[in-house]
C-alpha cells in the first residue's frame, strides 16, 4: 500500500522542475546506460533493452518535455556507445534506422504515460471535489435536522404536557443524524455486525419493535454502504407502510453463516403483525437498493400477507473469534427485544 501511495502521489502531483528535473533526467539516462554497459558481454546485439523501463518511468513521473528529452538523449547515447559501429553517431543506415524505431516506440510510451498521468490527476481532482461536496451535503443535512429540532421546540413550547414527547422527538432526530453519519464517506476497510445494523436502525426503533440476532462478524468494504442503504430502505418502508406503522408490529433481523461457505453470511429481515401488504405495482428508487449488486448477493423480497421479508447473501464475511471482539462496540441493549438476542459464537 505504501508503494502504491508513493506512485499515486507522483502521478497526481506536479512533476519536478528546474534542477530537480534535470537531475531526474540525467538519472533516467545514466542508470540504463550503466546497466547496459554492465550487461554488454551478454546482450551485445540488443542496444536499447535497458532503456525502455526508464523511458516509461520518465513518462509517468516527469513532464512530457523532460520525458521527450530523456528519450532523445537515450537514443543518442545508446547509438554512440552500443550500436555498431561504436563510438560514432548514425554511421550507417542500419543504426540510424534502429535508432529512429527506438525513438518512435519510446515516444509512444511517453504519449501513453502522459495520458495515464493526466487521467490519474483528473480522477484525483474529481474524487477531491466529490469528497468536498459530500462533506458539504452532510453538513447541510445536519443543519437541516438541527433546524427541524429547533422548530419542534418552538412549535410545542407553549403546549402543556408535551415535554416527554418532545424529548422523544428530539432523541429520534439526533439518532437519525447519527445514523446519517455512517454514510458520510463510504470508505471502510471493514464494518462489523451487529454495530452497523444498530447504527442504521436505531432511528426507527423508538418503541423497541426491532430485534436483532446473529454472530459478531466483520464484513468486507464493498458490503458496508449497500447494506446500510438496504436496511435504511427496509426500515423506512416498514415505518411508512409495514410492521412499524402499527403499534403491535415488529421486525426481526437475523443473520448466520450457515451458507455454502464459512465466509458466506445470510441475513433475514422479517416483519410481523403489521398491516396486510401486497406486491408493489411500480418500482421506485428504493427498489434499486434492494436488488443484487456488488457487496450484496441474492437479494430476495417477499410480500406475504403477514408481512414483508427480505433475504440477503453476503460473501467475504469473517466471523470474529472471541479474542477479537470489542465489548465497547456492542450496541445498547435498548435496541433489542431481549438481552439474549445477539447470539455468541
Q: What is the CATH number of the domain that holds 264?
A: 3.30.565.10
pLDDT of 329 reads 47
Beta-bridge mates of residue 318:
218
Triad 244, 250, 253: Cα angle to 5°: 105
Question: Could you count the other beta carbons within 10 Å of the beta carbon of residue 4?
Answer: 8
Q: Are residues 90 and 194 in the same domain?
A: no
Q: Are residues 113 and 7 in the same domain?
A: yes
**In whole angstroms, what is the distance from residue 133 CA to residue 8 CA?**
22
Strands 250-256 and 210-214: parallel
How many domains does the chain fold into?
2
Distances (CA, A) of 76 to 62, 82, 107, 111, 268: 20, 10, 14, 20, 69
Nearest to 141 by CA among 171, 177, 114, 104: 177
pLDDT of 105 reads 92
Q: Are residues 110 and 195 in the same domain?
A: no
Q: Are residues 195 and 326 in the same domain?
A: yes
Distances (CA, A) of 165 to 148, 172, 182: 15, 11, 27
Q: Are residues 110 and 209 in the same domain?
A: no
Q: Are residues 225 and 326 in the same domain?
A: yes
Q: Are residues 105 and 200 in the same domain?
A: no
Listed in sequence order, the DSSP H helices in the chain are 2-12, 18-38, 52-61, 64-82, 93-155, 163-181, 195-201, 221-240, 285-289
In a domain, 178, yes or no: no
Residue at which a domain ends, from 79, 108, 128: 128
Distances (CA, A) of 255 to 155, 263, 265: 42, 13, 7
In a domain, 286, yes or no: yes
Grid cell in block for residue 201: 436502525
Q: Are residues 310 and 206 in the same domain?
A: yes
pLDDT of 335 reads 45
In a domain, 240, yes or no: yes
Residue at which a domain ends, from 89, 106, 128: 128
In a domain, 155, yes or no: no
In a domain, 179, yes or no: no
Domain limits at 9?
2-128
**HSE, side-chain direction, 13 A CA sphere, residue 129:** 6
Q: Are residues 92 and 200 in the same domain?
A: no
- Would you say 67 and 114 are in contact if contact means Cβ atoms under 8 Å apart? yes
Q: Is 293 exposed, middle or buried (0-12, 13-18, 19+ CB in 10 A)?
A: middle
**In whole angstroms, what is the distance from residue 201 CA to residue 296 CA?**
18
Q: What's the farthest any 2 CA atoms get from each other in the chain?
A: 103
Q: Are residues 34 and 123 in the same domain?
A: yes
Q: Are residues 110 and 214 in the same domain?
A: no
**In whole angstroms, what is the distance from residue 204 CA to residue 188 CA?**
24
Q: Are residues 218 and 331 in the same domain?
A: yes
pLDDT of 336 reads 39
In a domain, 152, yes or no: no
Q: Is 42 exposed, middle or buried (0-12, 13-18, 19+ CB in 10 A)?
A: exposed
Residue at which a domain ends, from 86, 112, 128: 128
- The pTM of the full predicted model, rounded to 2 decimals, is 0.53
Q: Which SS3 state, helix, strand or coil, does residue 198 take?
A: helix
Per-residue pLDDT of the chain (345 residues; tens, 9 = 90+): 445 666 666 677 778 888 998 999 999 999 999 998 888 887 767 788 899 999 999 988 888 899 999 999 999 999 888 888 888 888 788 888 888 999 999 999 999 988 988 888 888 888 888 878 877 877 787 788 788 878 887 877 777 776 666 776 776 676 666 656 665 545 555 678 888 888 888 878 877 889 999 888 888 878 887 888 888 888 888 888 888 888 888 999 999 886 566 788 899 999 998 888 777 766 665 667 788 888 888 888 888 877 889 998 888 888 888 777 666 544 433 343 333 333 332
pLDDT of 51 reads 92
In a domain, 146, yes or no: no
In a domain, 17, yes or no: yes
Amino acid at each position: 500500500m505504501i508503494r502504491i501511495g508513493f506512485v499515486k502521489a507522483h502521478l497526481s502531483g506536479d512533476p519536478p522542475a528546474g534542477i530537480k528535473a534535470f537531475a531526474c533526467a540525467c538519472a533516467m539516462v545514466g542508470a540504463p546506460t550503466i546497466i547496459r554497459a554492465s550487461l554488454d558481454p551478454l546482450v551485445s546485439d540488443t542496444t536499447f533493452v535497458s532503456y525502455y523501463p526508464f523511458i516509461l518511468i520518465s513518462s509517468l513521473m516527469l513532464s512530457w518535455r523532460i520525458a521527450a528529452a530523456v528519450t532523445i538523449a537515450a537514443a543518442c547515447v545508446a547509438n554512440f556507445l552500443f550500436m555498431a559501429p561504436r563510438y560514432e553517431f548514425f554511421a550507417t543506415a542500419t543504426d540510424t534506422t534502429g535508432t529512429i524505431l527506438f525513438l518512435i516506440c519510446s515516444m509512444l510510451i511517453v504519449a501513453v504515460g502522459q495520458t495515464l498521468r493526466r487521467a490519474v490527476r483528473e480522477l484525483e481532482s474529481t474524487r477531491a471535489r466529490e469528497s468536498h461536496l459530500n462533506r458539504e451535503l452532510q453538513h447541510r443535512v445536519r443543519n437541516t435536522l438541527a433546524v427541524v429540532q429547533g422548530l419542534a421546540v418552538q412549535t410545542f413550547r407553549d403546549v402543556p404536557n408535551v415535554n416527554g414527547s418532545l424529548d422523544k422527538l428530539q432523541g429520534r432526530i439526533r439518532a437519525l443524524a447519527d445514523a446519517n453519519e455512517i454514510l458520510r464517506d463510504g470508505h471502510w476497510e471493514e464494518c462489523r455486525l451487529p454495530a452497523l445494523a444498530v447504527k442504521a436502525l436505531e432511528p426507527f426503533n423508538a418503541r423497541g419493535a426491532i430485534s436483532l440476532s446473529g454472530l459478531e462478524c466483520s464484513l468486507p468494504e464493498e458490503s458496508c454502504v449497500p447494506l446500510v442503504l438496504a436496511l435504511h430502505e427496509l426500515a423506512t418502508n416498514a415505518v411508512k407502510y409495514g410492521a412499524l406503522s402499527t403499534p403491535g408490529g415488529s421486525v426481526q433481523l437475523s443473520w448466520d453463516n450457515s451458507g455454502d461457505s464459512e465466509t458466506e453470511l445470510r441475513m433475514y429481515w422479517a416483519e410481523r403483525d403489521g398491516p396486510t401488504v401486497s406486491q408493489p405495482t411500480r418500482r421506485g428508487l428504493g427498489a434499486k437498493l434492494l436488488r443484487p449488486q456488488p457487496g450484496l448477493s441474492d437479494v430476495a423480497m417477499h410480500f406475504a400477507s403477514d408481512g414483508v421479508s427480505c433475504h440477503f447473501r453476503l460473501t467475504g464475511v469473517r466471523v470474529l473469534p472471541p479474542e477479537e471482539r470489542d465489548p465497547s462496540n456492542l450496541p445498547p441493549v435498548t435496541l433489542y427485544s431481549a438481552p439474549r438476542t445477539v447470539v455468541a459464537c
